[in-house]
Amino acid sequence: MSDCIFCKIAAHEIPAHIIWESDRFVAFADIRPVNPGHLLIIPKDHVEVVFAMDDERYAEAFAAAKTLSAPLRRATDAKRIGIAVEGFGVDHAHIHLIPLHGPHELNPDRAQAADPKDLAEMVEKITSEINKN
């Protein structure tokens, strides 16, 4: 979709901290993280909601979440990696992958604009952990 911000990110048409990419998915850092290291996984093709993906893509999306969870955990020293799907912000399917250090942190009210320098440093940390795999 031409006016969809996530389509533009997936197509590299607007800048984003893309930390991982496959043929059909992209993962990038949320600029308003619930916790540092908060990632979004999106399909490259425009699909409005997660449950509208066909079974194969749906499985691929959650396999990507699993693949990214270990390096993300190492990069952030998180106790757990939380997964959340709401989809109210942008009408393009996205899975939140959020490092958690304790209970009750998986809460969108905690989202705050990240300092650009902190965000860039976190992205570098995560990318370096991914490359160790």
Mask for 41-60, x = binds Zn ion (CB under 5 A): -----x--------------
Catalytic residue among 17, 38, 92, 94: 94
Q: Which is nearer to Zn ion, 7 or 29 (CB)?
A: 7
Task: Give every CB contact of residue 102 below 8 A, 6+ residues apart in sequence.
Answer: 79
Is residue 92 a contact residue for Zn ion (CB under 5 A)? yes
CB 67 to Zn ion: min, Å: 22
* SS3 assignment, position 18: strand
Beta-carbon-side half-sphere exposure of residue 35 (alpha carbons within 13 Å):
23
Mark whether 12 is an active-site residue: no
Is residue 38 a contact residue for Zn ion (CB under 5 A)? no
Contact with Zn ion (CB under 5 A) among 7, 39, 40, 75: 7
From the number of C-beta atoms within 10 Å of its C-beta (0-12, 13-18, 19+), residue 133 rates as exposed
Helices assigned H by DSSP within 1-132: 5-10, 55-76, 116-132
Q: Which is nearer to Zn ion, 1 or 14 (CB)?
A: 1
Is residue 94 a contact residue for Zn ion (CB under 5 A)? no
